[in-house]
Structure 1
């Protein structure tokens, strides 16, 4: 809980080489995520101001870079709250107006979807290569949350694991409520225009809501993308200074130098993300880049560390090398023919290689599995106490009911 970043956590257990590799991996992954956000910002602005897309992309990137660089993490934290309030108000409004646009009741919508071939279970869950590809991409996406540097940074900002747990319970509920509303918006569009091409869906929404709401929709999308992008830029800047350069040139960096490096890193990372946006504007491809750069390398060592595994630097490097080789081989020979993302498989290969290296190579006495610490024991005891109280409460209420009705 006292660490500043995910690379520091891995480095505290597996050594500074593993820390540097994790830092580089996290930065490369974040550049792809920032490129996704820049892409969305450009599309959003282009829908309002029909100028050259390249000019809009450059302007959007520069605004993002200077906002993150000059404002720092303090401004990012405060504005993230305002941005959250913005899109939690706008998205439900858009969902409501799109529902009104269908001119159908809830029951009519349900019956309509029931008659659609693509919404039938036998059509949705056909065991084919497309479903398998989607399943593995979903696994990679879900596992990716465990390596997300911005998420880990927020966990470390909490006062203790209990507070972090409460914060993420609340944020998870909000997260899925927003996703459900976004799914409903697209569902209502399909109900109204079932034959509308996919690339026309976004253009359809602004033209079928009150004109005054169009600007708010753009603001909402900009708030969401800025909220994600600025967090990644600031986090990458910290990782570059604190986890990479400090370990390479530890005797040459003073606090003032760290601050300069953070500012220059924000600029360089933003520009690299912009270049990547020009090179690739497919959101799915950028998402796969983000997963491939980090999951095969960082997830297995981190998850094993959380569950009590304390390996050596050699063990971690063997696992990371195996993960990198697996994802490279998968992308060269398997993914082009099947379309299946190999990040999850590479992560498993990483973890398996670490276990093989640990049990088949000679290890120091300090290496191996450790038991729960005092904090975890207190949390487990608290959970057991609450569970016992809950059972006792149910038992007493059941007894009272039996006496009352008997």
Structure 2
């Protein structure tokens, strides 16, 4: 009887601790800037922890374990090597950020370079992307509670609603400070538990590492030859790898962490450390999938992987595994909530006001209402849409084709007009719609990277084909 309720008690205790920490570090912000990016005096270690907590989501944990089991070597290369290299590239871009470090959002950066209307479009796309990301994390929370705690679907949803309200609460009243502190708690939680989970799955195999490597070498999906099959599945993985390879310039919650840094050098060092630690964390996550493949065999459906885990760990670790998923999901969701609320207030509502500049008190009020509305919208959407991978690709479809190219060009030193940026954004969005209708629907190949290139090329064509005002072009 005790073992039946032990996971439930562990989950409840973790949620209560998160609420206490969130409330304890929530304070009345004196300015909208402090609510959005804090005092810009965070230690590098704090920034590293909050970036990793934001980047490693509950949906990402579920996806990586399932697809390392299902797709084998191809997925391992994308998740481990391509992703870490992408973060390293991101760190190299930070040296070109001095002009933008005072900004509060990626939309403001776009607006400073290209004008009001590109800023508004960026803000709308960023909010849409954030809603999709939050939805993914809420689905992950439902999934975690359902498989780890002995509850039916209705009660699992009730716990998930409770967890969602906790993160909405401290995001509303605590701003980025409360989000950052809870991110550190959640980061410590999942970075301690995930290696233990990998170790438990290793013990379940009953084999040595030498035997495991030898066994995987006999399996087709883990052989190098599996990478060189030229078919739609291979092209789909290439498309995914290209999306992952692009630095997360278009991800509003990641860029907010850049603006929280004191200067470009701290931002560069932060993401340099993140690239190293992401390699380690991803490695442990992928090992979980590999050990399940060895211990459980290839007959398992990818959706049954998590049930295999929960039936092969002690009750106390079942609860620990659940709070690991919850920690990863909540740390990503609260960052997206805070970022999108700041964008709604600072980049959508404020520019629409014809009166003089809005004061901080009104901006804070709008941001808090936006946090509540966006959080509730994502929660309700999660109960009607359950495909994690499709939502993951939808996030790319929002940000990569529209935001990434103009933002990347701006950071590299391009100064274009509003017309140039709008042509690029429209081209990226239209190309995405055409690709999804005529190509992805038939082949399953994601076109977000191609559409991002179309955006950038359209901007360059517009810049060089049309007469430009003095000062437009490459500034450095």
TM-score by length of 1: 0.88
**Structure 1, unaligned stretches of length 5 or more?**
372-406
Structure 1 match to 2:313: 209
Residue equivalent to 1:259: 364
CA distance in 2, matches of 1:125, 1:222: 37
Q: Please name the residue that 2:251 is paired with.
A: 148
Task: Tell me what 1:101 maps to.
Answer: 204
Give the equivalent residue in structure 2 for 1:9: 109
Q: Deviations over 1:232-268 (max 9, x none)?
A: 0000000000011100115273322111111110111
Aligned to 2:87: none
Q: Deviations 1:138-195 (Å, cap 9, x if unpaired)? A: 2123326121112111112212211111111112211121111010011001101112
* CA deviations over 1:191-210 (Å, ceiling 9, x no partner): 01112221111011122122
Matched, 1:340 2:445: yes
Deviations 1:109-145 (A, max 9, x none): 1111112222222234311111101111221233261
RMSD: 1.5
1:71-82 correspondence to structure 2 within 5 Å:
71-82=174-185
What is the distance in 2 between the residues matched to 1:122 and 1:109? 19
Equivalence for 2:329: 225
Is residue 304 from structure 1 mapped to residue 413 from structure 2 by the alignment? no
| SS of aligned partner of 1:205 | helix
What is the CA–CA distance in structure 1 between the aligned matches of 2:247 and 2:126, rounded to whole Å?
11
Label 1:59 to 1:144 Cα distance change in 2 as closer, same or farther (>3 A): farther
Sort the Cα spacing of 1:57 and 1:86 in 2 relative to 1 into closer, same or farther, 3 A: closer
Offset from partner CA, 1:73-110 (integer Å, 9 cap, x none): 21111111111111111111111111111111111111
Matched, 1:279 2:279: no
- Classify 1:220/1:98 alpha carbon distance in 2 versus 1 (closer, same or farther; 3 Å): same
1:235 aligned to which of 331, 339, 346: 339
Separation in 1, partners of 2:158, 2:316: 26
**1:50 counterpart = 2:151:** yes
Q: Distance in 2 between matches of 1:148 and 1:77?
A: 17
C-alpha displacement of 1:326: 0.8
Q: Does 1:30 align with 2:145?
A: no
1:359 match? 464
**Alignment check: 8 A CA contact 1:39 1:281 kept:** yes
In 2, the alpha carbon distance for the partners of 1:250 and 1:282 equals 42
Give deviations 1:28-71, integer Å, cap 9, x for gaps: 01110110000000111112142325545544433332232233
**Structure 2 residue corresponding to 1:326, chosen from 427, 431, 438:** 431
Give the one of 345, 349, 358 matched to 2:454. 349
- 2:239 corresponds to 1:118: no
Question: Which of 170, 178, 200 is the equivalent residue of 1:67?
Answer: 170
Q: 1:144 to 1:28 in 2, by over 3 A?
A: farther
Q: Residues of 2 paired with 1:159 and 1:58: CA distance? A: 36
* Alpha-carbon distance in 2 for matches of 1:332, 1:275: 27
SS in 2 for 1:208: coil
Q: Distance in 1 between matches of 2:286 and 2:353?
A: 48
Q: Sort the Cα spacing of 1:49 and 1:62 in 2 relative to 1 into closer, same or farther, 3 A.
A: farther
The alpha-carbon deviation at position 24 of structure 1 amounts to: 0.4
Range that drifts further, 246-255 or 156-165: 246-255
Partner of 2:302: 198
Name the structure 1 match of 2:289.
Answer: 186
Distance in 2, matches of 1:144 and 1:338, equals 26
Q: Does 1:368 align with 2:368?
A: no
Q: Distance in 2 between matches of 1:292 and 1:140?
A: 10
Secondary structure of the residue that 1:31 maps to in structure 2? Answer: helix
Distance 2:222 2:425 in 1: 41
What are the superposed Cα offsets for residues 340-368 of structure 1, whole Å, 9 maximum, x if unpaired?
Answer: 11111111111111111100101011101
Counterpart CA distance in 1 for 2:354 and 2:254 is 27
Any conservation in 2 of the 1:68–1:266 contact (CA below 8 Å)?
A: yes
Unaligned runs of 5+ in 2: 1-100
Counterpart of 1:165 in structure 2 is 268
- Name the SS for the 1:127 alignment partner: coil
